[in-house]
Amino acid sequence: MMAKKPGADKDTNTNPNIFNSISEQKLTKYLDITKRAVEIIKIIPPEGSHLKKVADDFYSMALSYYKDACHYRDQGDYVTAFACVNYAHGYIDAGVRLGVFLGDNSGIFAFEYVNTSDSS
């Protein structure tokens, strides 16, 4: 049997420094960011390559988690929706960091696009 942590039986909702819920505004913000990211990314690896399969898998997982997030939001389950949207964006950021997705400089990716062909 696990021992209770001190204060585990206290109501954390009375502590203004504890955030244990997801607001509709926060969820909407992150859904919008992830939707934009899904629309922006481009798959880089060529057809038939192993990395193209990785990119397709990452994209499929990101899109599936994004759709799950929207479903849970529509059901009123903001906590699960927030978890799903973070997984979705995690797959997108991982793909950009791995180099299988091309993002842009919009500020919504963990690794920003750098245009190396600009000679100015």
Rounded distance between C-alpha atoms, residue 25 and residue 2, angstroms: 37
Output the pTM of the full model: 0.76
Q: Which domain holds residue 70?
A: 21-102
Looking at the domain assignment, is residue 8 inside a domain?
no
CATH code of the domain containing 61: 1.20.1270.90
- Joined together, the tokens standing for residue 34 give 């992830």
Beta pairing class for 101-102 and 42-43:
antiparallel
Name the domain count of the chain: 1
Looking at the domain assignment, is residue 39 inside a domain?
yes
Looking at the domain assignment, is residue 48 inside a domain?
yes
In this structure, what DSSP letter does residue 86 have?
A: H
Looking at the domain assignment, is residue 110 inside a domain?
no
Looking at the domain assignment, is residue 108 inside a domain?
no
Q: In the chain, at which residue ranges do the beta strands (DSSP E only) sit?
A: 42-43, 101-102
What lies within 8 Å, CB to CB, of 76 at 6+ separation is none
pLDDT by residue for the chain (120 residues), tens only, comes to 445 444 444 444 566 666 678 999 999 999 999 999 999 999 999 999 999 999 999 999 999 999 999 999 999 999 999 999 999 999 999 999 999 999 887 888 876 555 555 544
